[in-house]
Amino acid sequence: MIYFDKVTKKYPNESIALCDVTLSVHPKEFVSVVGHSGAGKTTLLKMILGEERPTKGAVFFESVKIHDLKKDDINNYRRRVGTIFQDFRLLPHLTVFENIAFAMQACGRSDEEIISDVPHVLELVDLSKKISSFPGELSGGEKQRVAIARAIVNQPDIIIADEPTGNLDPASTYDIVQILKKINDLGTTVILTTHNKGIIDSLQRRVITMENGKIVQDDKDGRFSMQD
């Protein structure tokens, strides 16, 4: 479904963030990407989102070259990709309900759909009780569960999670990983970056290890091979 064909990314300051990367991610896979800071993980995710262009090579979604899409098409494509970040990125002046509704409105969903789907996704992340709370009234783990609900409410094909547990305690980290697994079991592709060895060990899914912009290991059984 996602295919990187010999992708190199050189930023204007001459940093080479990706170096001749070839990679396939199939529908319904759960892929973790690990590597030290600066290894190229975020750039890899930005390529999938069409936020950065390859200097050489191409990135495909199904048979479409992401970077050849016109503005309207790239916006439609991005709706098929849900995103989750370490810093949650919730709108602080909106309630949990409104944060999720906002993402639905941006996709042109009707008020009826919003009223029926928001409680449903909050149930999936076990946060129904907080529907009227503001982000400032939630713990880090709860904020991230809202961010996940927002990412899945428009039923994306792919979820991209960039260090989603980086700011969380171990108990919340465990909850977030369980939710991501559940979403994956329901049929959504998940691509996760993490530094957390415990997550990789508990997932037992595919792990891609990056170093200096290259994939140095691609392990189907979920081994964490990064050295400290």
Residues that bind ligand ADP (CB under 6 A): 11, 13, 15, 17, 35, 37-43
Query: How near is the Cβ of 180 to ligand ADP at its closest, in Å?
Result: 19
Query: How near is the Cβ of 38 to ligand ADP at its closest, in Å?
Result: 4
The closest of 226, 16, 219, 102 to 7, measured between CA atoms, is 16
Query: How near is the Cβ of 107 to ligand ADP at its closest, in Å?
Result: 27
Residue closer to ligand ADP (CB basis): 111 or 218: 218
Residue closer to ligand ADP (CB basis): 39 or 121: 39
Residue closer to ligand ADP (CB basis): 20 or 98: 20
Residue closer to ligand ADP (CB basis): 35 or 156: 35
Query: How near is the Cβ of 43 to ligand ADP at its closest, in Å?
Result: 3
